[in-house]
Amino acid sequence: MRNWTLQFKIKLVLSQKFFSRMQKVKKIVLLFIITLLTTSCVSKKRIIYFQNNKIDQSKVTNSYKTVFKPDDLLQISISALDLDAVKPFNLPAVTYATTTNSVVGTPQQQSYLVDSEGFIDFPILGRLKIAGLPRIEAINLLKKKLDPDYVKNPTINIRIANFTITILGDIKKPGTYTIPNERITILDAIGLAGDLNISGERTIEVKREEGNKIVSYELDLRSNELFTSPVYYLQQNDVIYVRPNRASYQSASYNQNTGLFISITTALVSVITLLTNVIK
């Protein structure tokens, strides 16, 4: 009888120790699962745009200017009352049939490529330095060259045929976009690309070619200060990069079998719970 009582006490003590250990293991496993599930949570303040409603109107400007750069493809049209005088400066780009020596297809306006030194080859006038000039200055340069020796009171229009921007990173439709009107804001570009993914950082980076170097700008979409940024209006060949947020980095670092690990851990918790209930 005494032996049986002693054995019972020993089993009871062991069971209590086992139960205590299982409770600790259960808590650790549950904490592990909660940690995995909450690492991807993102604060509301890190997502919403324009959180600060105060805008310094004195710094907001609606002006923008396009500055011509090497590798720009320019379409230049010149008009005046004397149509014969402007014909040599509006040469159409056409294709000729070798057999009939006739024009094939619809003539299109000729484009001028700004070379690496910033020059274009313009009919009659020769090489003109265009790179580094805003549109209005380039127009004034041509007017001075044409009026009055060649064309009196010319009307000149210059547009960039290959005005493009590139959007990369954690955004719905990354890619390179052609902008026909040459006027686009950072918000227009984001809308064109379908908006940032929920996992994209709201502080984005804009890379711009200035002179012979690439300059990087940081732009916080959560602040209204973006409206006063020098890169609020984009220029040709600007590159926008949207970084993934910290939660994306962490999820990318997980093993592909993370889902399997969570399933196994959940099953383990269920087994522990069942054992502890049986011991009770």
Per-residue pLDDT at 32: 57
Per-residue pLDDT at 266: 66
Per-residue pLDDT at 191: 95
Per-residue pLDDT at 211: 78
Tokens of 240: 């926008």
The structure tokens 């940690």 sit at: 35
**pTM surpassing 0.85?**
no
What does the alpha-carbon distance between residue 135 and residue 146 come to, in Å, rounded to a whole number? 17
Residues 68-87: tens digit of each pLDDT: 999 999 999 999 999 899 99
Per-residue pLDDT at 57: 66
What is the three-class DSSP state of 203? strand
Per-residue pLDDT at 102: 57
- Classify 237 in phi/psi space as left (phi over 0), alpha (psi -120 to 50) or beta: left
What does the alpha-carbon distance between residue 169 and residue 138 come to, in Å, rounded to a whole number? 35
Phi, psi values for residue 86, rounded to 5°:
-90, -10
Per-residue pLDDT at 13: 47
Per-residue pLDDT at 212: 81
Residues in the chain predicted with pLDDT less than 50, given as ranges, are 8, 12-14, 40
DSSP class of 153? S
